[in-house]
Amino acid sequence: MIRAGFFLLALFGLSAAEGRTEGWALLGTDPKEFSQAWETRGFPLIAATHYDARLQDGQVIVTGVSENANRAAARRVAVKQPTRARLTWSWRVRSQLDGTVSERTKAGDDFAARVFVIFETSVIPTRTRAINYVWAANEPVDSVFPSPYTRRVAHIVLQTAGHEASDTWRHESRDVLADYRKFFGESPSVITAVAIMVDTDNTDGRAEADFRHIVLEIQPPPEDSRSDASN
C-alpha cells in the first residue's frame, strides 16, 4: 500500500460517525447499507480495488478484487478516549499473492486481505496511527512489524495462506486497545474508523478476498454527530 499515512489522512480527516451502541455490525444487514455507509478512497493514478456486497444466507458478504490496484473501504467510527474496543470478523482469501517479495519492504507492502483500525489522524500524514490485521503470503502468524512507509502503522499477521487459496472462513477476535498499547506503548485518544482492504499495486499482483461479520464492541458508543449519515 503506497504512502499509507497520506491515504489514511485524506480518507478520514476530522469527521465523526453516526451513533451506534455496543455490538455494532459494521457491514449492516443488506448490501445497500454497505454501499451507503462505507467509503472507498485511493490515489487517482492507481487502479482501484473493486468491492462488491451481496446477501448470502442472510449475511452481508463483501468481496474485494484487486489487480495491480489499491483501494480501501472504510466505515467511520469516531470514539474519543475509548475504554473498550473488541473487533471480530470472518474472512477468507480466494486468490493469494505469490509472496516473492518481502512484505516488510515497500516493494512488497501488499496483502491479499487487511482489516484495519485507524486511530489518531494528523495534518502531517505520516503521523496518522493505524493497526493493520493482515493475511500474509509469507510472513508467519503472530509477526508484528511497522509499515515500511511509516512506523505509525503496525502490521499484525493473523493468517498466512502460503500460495493456496481457500474457501474456508477464518474467524478473528482482537482486543484493539491491547494491540495498540503493545505496539505504541500508550492508550489511543480516539478511534476514527474501521476499514478493509485488498491491495496489490506494489507487487503488480492479483488477489481476491471475502469479508463478513465485522462487529465492533466499543465503549463509549460512537458519537451521533452525523445527522445526514443516511443521505
% the chain with pLDDT above 90: 74
% the chain with pLDDT above 70: 84
Grid cell 512484505 in the structure block, residue: 103
Residue 167 neighbours by CB distance under 10 Å: 8
User: Model confidence at 226, in pLDDT bands (50, 70, 90)?
Assistant: very low
The span from the CA of 52 to the CA of 48, in Å, is 13
Fold of 4-219: Jelly Rolls (2.60.120)
Residues 125-152: pLDDT tens digits? Answer: 678 899 999 999 989 999 999 999 999 9
Residues 58-108: pLDDT tens digits? Answer: 999 999 999 999 999 999 999 999 999 999 999 999 999 988 899 999 999
Residues 180-203: pLDDT tens digits? Answer: 999 999 999 999 999 999 999 999
Single-letter amino acid code for the residue at 75: R
**Dihedral Cα 20, 21, 22, 24, nearest 10 deg:** -30
DSSP codes joined into one string, 31-92: HHHHHHH-EEE--TTSPPPEEEEEEETTEEEEEEEEES---EEEEEEEEES-SEEEEEEEEE
**How confident is the prediction for the chain on average, in pLDDT?**
86
User: What 8-state DSSP symbol labels residue 218?
Assistant: E
pLDDT at residue 161 is higher than 90: no
Question: Which residue, among 173, 162, 158, has the nearest Cα to 215 in the 3D structure?
Answer: 173
